[in-house]
Structure 1
Amino acid sequence: MEQKVFAKEQMVSIKNWENIIISPDDSIKTALSVIDKEALRLAIVAKNGVLKGVVTDGDIRRAILKGTELSCIVEEIMNRNPITACASLSSNELQKMMKENEILSLPIVDDEGRVVGLKTLYDTFLVEKRNNPVFIMAGGFGTRLRPLTDDCPKPMLKVGGKPMLEILINNFKNHGFYRFYISTHYLPEIIENYFGNGSDFGVEITYVHEEKPLGTAGALSLLPESLPKEPLIMINGDILTNVDFSKLLDFHIKHNSNATMCVRDYALKVPFGVIEGEGNTISKIVEKPTYRYFVNAGIYIISHEIIDSLSVNEHLDMPTLFENKQNEGFTTLKFPIYEYWLDVGRHDDFAKAQTDIYELGL
């Protein structure tokens, strides 16, 4: 089987995976003993830390049936091209790999082929709990979606039978997040009556009410002093996405960012020939060009140093916040996202969401 290598940015491995590493020169009997003792149904074969192959209980059983002696070395029967993953894919991605290839575990290797861990199919069903707070902006009027929003906050409009806000919370929950803060302004009682304190949904919810609209960043100043000091994820409540929030958070931490903005690639096609030059002189004619830009995706990571620096109840938009903090010497970064993303701001978007939701697994 051809080797397949995949990548992500956080370490994934089970405890004591080093116990199943053996040498190519070890005997089949040694491999059998290791497999039996650790109960993982395989041993990793490595030399000087570099992966050489794997041997499973099935490999040993087939070798014995062919008459191979247990004293023979593992190198003679091992799989020299096992499927592996670099450090490291998300649990969902690893789970999909193992199911597609009908295997129960994956060695984790670095860029040089050195073994750094092991992930089992069982591990992929376990979700690491994240203490980072999640701040969802749900106070807008949703004027472009009227009359649907005349009596309902936009994040509470149903997509696939559930409010968008519930879909968003469940997506975060699936990535291990459980501490939620929801900013309200328009028809707050509908949101609060539906979710309560979050216990019925397996999460914790605290509400932050804006007496007057404070812009896309101003509500950050209303967060309570008890807010955890871990970096906060902030997202607009009308976004439908399957972004891996853990990967985003890992990027923010790894690069020592104070504020990280998710951005989307946006293509703008000009249907005419574009004339370039100075004055009356034509220097170049570009026929129907496409220009590409990164645009704000309405998802952010904000560190507590920035939240603590904000003035309470001051109107502030997110682009202004990033610009101000960059000028003050804070590190502000962009994080391109290529997963599904939809800003449900218009009727066409809402109709599209009704179809897309069934393909996203949210």
Structure 2
Amino acid sequence: MYHIEDICVLESISLHIALEKIDKSGRHILLVVDDKRRLLGTITDGDIRRSILKGSNLDQSIDSIYNKNPKYCYEGGGRQAALKIMREKGIDQIPIVNAEKVVVAVESFNANLQGVKINNPVIIMAGGLGTRLKSITQHIPKALTPIGSKPILEIIINRLVSDGFSNFYISVNYKSEMIVDYFKDGSAFNANIQYLYEDKPLGTAGALSSLDADAIEFPCLVMNCDILTTINFPDLLEFHCNKGASLTVATRSIRHDVPYGVIETVKGKISTLKEKPSYKYEINAGIYIVNKEAVKLVLKDAFFDMTDLIQKALEKEMHLLAYPINSYWIDIGEMKTLERARIDYETLNL
């Protein structure tokens, strides 16, 4: 995978160095930043070629050449928002910045650009019974639940492939033959898919024990098959790597409004009264980045949920981090949220 630092440069560098960096990254673009990595502009290989044709020499600084009025998106807007701007402006790539205009990522129409291919495997847990969707899952596995014209698992795989991932493991149990028959080896989806067969339900992490931990590239991305989201997966992976975490849990902020006055007591005595308070929580979003040392904590051939793995990693005092999702996210595990997701998929062009 690429690191954002590889394509960030200061405006003082020469055209020669800029060309070398573009060639090495394969991105066709560099982001010009200040010493705090705040976006100043962009320069492409096309900009440099045109400048040379006009008489510039390779020792010259890019200062007078780069685009000082670049298009950009703020993080949290989701990939679709970035794609919309790229279509409207006729550009192939767009920087993503935070509220302080610090560069955090680059979105591209073509995530399979040289240097953007991500070899880290993706493990998708699709072996569950989907009991809360019984009217649907009595006929098909939850992973094949349709959202629009496609099964939820196909939408997940397509989004990950567009983000540069290509190596997939899908854990299967209930109605496994239907999933395998639909996706086969993944070649029709520009992916390489292997299957982790469960002889019995193993929970949301149990299938990890059947991976050959010494043969795959870590860290790996693990997620449930019932999540519809526009999260920036490469950014999640980069966050995990840059922070040196053993396990990163993607989280979603939810708010719970209490429609009553809440009384707090100490030994029967009223200490405070909060009128219709609102509480904010960070919930487990069902998406994880996991290192080898964490995967090795999963019990072999036993029912083991991701919550068990998180608890065990905490007991081992491993480095665990939370990555807040600020873009679209919904769990389609029950009929109410499934219907909401179907509406959102069509109206929000997810």
Contact 1:53 1:79 in 2 (8 A): yes
Specify every segment of 5 or more residues in structure 1 that has no aligned partner in the other structure, as ranges. Answer: 1-8, 22-39, 59-76
Instruction: Name the aligned partner's letter for residue 4 of structure 2.
Output: Q
How many Å separate the matches in 1 of 2:305 and 2:113? 37
- SS of 1:215's equivalent in the other structure is coil
Q: Distance in 1 between matches of 2:122 and 2:335?
A: 27
Provide structure 2 residue ranges, at least 5 long, that are not aligned to the other structure. Answer: 17-27, 48-63
Deviation, 1:351, is 1.4
Q: Which residue does 1:36 correspond to in 2?
A: none
Q: 1:302 to 1:271 in 2, by over 3 A?
A: same
Q: Is contact 2:124–2:225 with CA below 8 Å preserved after alignment?
A: yes
- Measured in 2, the distance between the counterparts of 1:84 and 1:229 equals 35
1:19, distance to aligned residue in structure 2 (A): 4.4
* Cα drift, residue 348 of structure 1: 1.5
For residues 311-352 of structure 1, the C-alpha deviation after alignment (integer angstroms, 9 at most, x for no partner) is 311222212211211221211111110111111111122211
In the other structure, the counterpart of 2:285 is 297
Amino acid at match of 1:233: L
CA deviations 1:258-281 (Å, max 9, x no partner) are 001111111111111001121232
CA displacement at 1:12 relative to structure 2: 6.5
CA offsets, 1:162-221, max 9 Å, x none? 111111000100000000000011000000011111112111111001111112211110
Counterpart of 2:184?
196
Classify the secondary structure of the residue corresponding to 2:199.
coil
- Given that residues 73 and 94 in structure 2 are in contact (C-alpha distance below 8 angstroms), is that contact kept between their aligned partners in structure 1? no
Q: Which of 7, 16, 30 matches 1:13?
A: 7
Change (3 A) 1:94 1:219: same
Matched-pair identity in %: 37
Distance 2:74 2:326 in 1: 20
Task: Determine whether 1:176 maps to 2:164.
Answer: yes
Match of 1:126 in 2: 113
Moved more, 313-322 or 98-107: 98-107
TM-score, structure 2 normalization: 0.75
Residue in structure 2 matched with residue 83 of structure 1 by the alignment? 70
1:306 correspondence with 2:294: yes
1:1-362 superposed matches below 5 A: 10-11=4-5, 13=7, 18-20=13-15, 82-83=69-70, 97=85, 126=113, 128-225=116-213, 227-362=215-350
- In the aligned structure 2, how far is the partner of 1:150 from the partner of 1:138? 15
Structure 1 position 111, deviation (Å): 11
Alignment match, 1:67:
none
In the alignment, the residues of structure 2 paired with residue 249 and residue 302 of structure 1 have an alpha-carbon distance, to the nearest angstrom, of 10
What is the rounded CA distance, in whole Å, between the counterparts of 1:292 and 1:88 in structure 2? 21
* Aligned-partner Cα distance in 1 for 2:228–2:264: 39
**Alpha-carbon shift at residue 82 of structure 1 (Å):** 2.4
TM-fit CA distance, 1:96: 5.0
More deviation, 275-284/82-91? 82-91
Check whether the contact 2:41–2:70 (CA below 8 A) recurs between aligned residues.
no
Distance 1:239 1:101 in 2: 31
Report how far residue 227 of structure 1 moved.
Answer: 4.2
Instruction: Name the CA shift for 1:111/1:244 in 2 (closer, same or farther; >3 Å).
Output: closer
Assess, with a 3 A threshold, how the Cα gap between structure 1 residues 126 and 360 changes in structure 2: closer, same or farther.
farther
TM-score, length-scaled by structure 1: 0.72
Rg: which structure is higher? 1
Contact 1:269/1:288 (<8 A) preserved:
yes
Letter in 1 for 2:124: I
| Whole-angstrom distance in 2 between the partners of 1:55 and 1:337 | 30
SS in 1 for 2:136: coil
Deviations 1:278-335 (A, max 9, x none): 1232222111101111111000111112223433112222122112112212111111
Distance of aligned partners of 1:213 and 1:266 in 2 relative to their CA distance in 1, 3 Å threshold: same
2:60 aligns with none
Q: CA RMSD in A?
A: 4.5
Per-residue deviation, 1:147: 1.6
Aligned length: 316
Q: Which residue identity lines up with residue 148 of structure 2 in the other structure?
A: G
C-alpha distance in 1 between matches for 2:207 and 2:65:
59
Q: CA 1:122–1:242 in structure 2 vs 1: closer, same or farther (change >3 Å)?
A: closer
Q: Aligned partners of 1:86 and 1:240: how far apart in 2?
A: 21
Please name the residue that 2:21 is paired with. Answer: none
Q: Once structures 1 and 2 are overlaid, which stretch shifts more, 104-113 or 220-229?
A: 104-113
